[in-house]
Amino acid sequence: MALTTSTSGCLSGLPPLGTKPSYARVDVPDATPPNYRRWLPAQGTSHDDWVITYVAPGPFEGPVPEEFVARRGALRTELDYFGIGYENYDNLVVTNLATVIEAEFSTAAVKSTLAETGYEPDGTYREYDLYARSDVPRRAAVSDNAIVWTSRQVHDEPDLEATIDAGHGHVERYHEANDAFAAITEAVGASRMLYVGGDHPGLRPALAEIGADAFRTDDDAAYHLLTERYPPDIEPSVDRIQLALEDEPYELTTEVETADVGVDGRFATVEARVPFAPNRGRDALNDPPQVTWGASFDAEAQSVTLHHEAGEEIDADWLWYDVDFDDDYNEIEKEPLWPGRDSVGPGDKAEVDLSDSPDATGISVLYGTDGVGSRNLFTYLLGSDE
C-alpha cells in the first residue's frame, strides 16, 4: 500500500562521492509528541510499504531546504481545496487510507465551499457530515475541527470510516499493535514534516526494521533527520552509518552544512543542519496551487470538460493538459489548457476535444512553464463517473 507522497525518488542529495559531509555536533530543536498516531488504525496497515506523513503546515518563507519545499509542493498538489487553505492547517496527516486536516475553521464555510463543487451530501458517520463525488472517486467527512478526505488518486486503499474510528479511539491504533512503529514514533516524535514507513530514504534501509525521515526548523536553520530502528541481531555503528551516507549520496537534502551521526541501542540517527539562504529564490514549481478539480466526459462529442471548482487563481500560462494512452509510457505532451487567458479561477471550464484521439484513456492537468518540468495536478480517467 505505497503512498503517492512517498519520499522515494527525492529531488536532491548529499554532494557527489569524493566530497564527504562535515561531521560535528548539531543541536536540533526538540520534537513534539507523536499525536498523529491517533489517525492510523491497526487494521489495514500490515504491509511493508505503507507510509504515514505528518506535517505542521503554516507559512514557510525560507527558500531552503529544497527537499522540504519540494515535498511541501507535492502535498499541496494532492489536496482538494476546502475553503481554509494549506497554510491555515494546524496538522496534516496522510496515510495509505486517508488524509486528515486538523484546524480551526468554520464548518459552514467548508460546507459552502463543497456546495460549489461536484461534492454532494452523502449522509453522516458518527459526528461527521459526509460528502462524495464520482468523477475521480473522492469523499470528505467534516466535523467541527477536522476534515477526513479520501481520493482514489492519492490513497491506495481509501478507508474514511476506519480513519475516523481510529482518530476517536473506537478501534485499535497501529502503534498499539506494532512494537516497531510504536518505538520509532516515540523516538522521533513529531516535526515540521515527517515520514515514517517502510519505503523511506534511509541509512541502511535493507537492514532496518523501520525508518523515519523528518525536517525541523528554528529561527536560523532547518534540520534534516534520518532515523532507523534495526532488528535485535543487527548492531548499528557510527562508522557504518557514516560510510552508508558517503556511499549513497541521495538521502539528505543538498544544502546540508553539518551532519551528526549517533547510535543508541537499536537506533541510528543522522541529524543535519541546513542554514537558511535568504537571497536564494524559490522555484515557483514548488508552490503549486491548491484547487478542487472536476471533470466530465461527453462520449457522443468525444470531449472532456475540465472544471476549476474551488481554490486559488492560477496564471493561465502555467496550465497545460496531456492526453493519456495505455502505451504512452508516461510520455508527457503539454498543450495549453486556457490559451489566451491571463488567469483561471473558480467556475472556469475548459473543453478538450478528443475526437482525434479515439484510444485515449484519460486526461491530466499539468502545472509548469512551457519548458521542461511540470507537476500533475489532476488526472481524469475517461468515463470513470459513468
CA 70 to chain centre: 10
Q: What pLDDT score does 108 carry?
A: 97
Question: Three cell numbers at 136?
Answer: 475521480
Domains recognised in the chain with CATH numbers: 35-275 (no CATH), 288-381 (2.60.40)
pLDDT tens digit sequence for 3-28: 223 333 333 333 333 346 688 999 99
CA distances, 115 to each of 83, 112, 308 (Å): 11, 5, 14
* Residues 81 and 311: beta-carbon distance below 8 Å: yes
Reported as a single tens digit per residue, the pLDDT across 61-105 is: 666 688 888 899 999 999 999 999 999 999 999 999 999 999 999
Select the more confidently predicted residue: 219 or 177: 177
Average pLDDT, the chain: 88
Whether the pLDDT of residue 259 is over 80: the answer is yes
Burial of 320 (0-12, 13-18, 19+ CB in 10 A): buried
Return the percentage of the chain with pLDDT > 90, whole number: 68
Strand, helix or coil for residue 234: coil
Answer yes or no: are the C-beta atoms of 134 and 150 closer than 8 Å: no
Choice between 138 and 15, residue whose per-residue pLDDT is larger: 138
Q: Looking at residue 7, what is its pLDDT? A: 33
Q: What is the pLDDT of residue 201?
A: 58
Picking from 54-68, 86-100, 111-125, 152-166, which range would have the lowest pLDDT averaged per residue? 54-68
| Cα(66)–Cα(163) distance, integer angstroms | 31
Q: Which long-range contacts (CB under 8 A, 24 or more apart) does 290-294 make?
A: 290/76, 290/79, 290/80, 290/81, 290/85, 290/86, 291/80, 291/81, 291/377, 291/378, 292/80, 292/81, 292/82, 292/117, 293/80, 293/365, 293/377, 293/378, 294/117, 294/118, 294/133, 294/135
If you average pLDDT over residues 332-345, what whole number do you get? 93
CA atoms within 13 A on the CB side of 50: 19
Q: Helices in the chain by DSSP H: which ranges?
A: 66-78, 107-115, 160-167, 174-177, 179-188, 238-247
> At 138, is the pLDDT very low, low, confident or very high (cuts 50, 70, 90)?
very high
pLDDT of 286:
86
Q: Considering only residues 128 and 22, tell me which one the structure prediction assigns the higher pLDDT.
A: 128
pLDDT given at position 10? 34
pLDDT of residue 326: 86
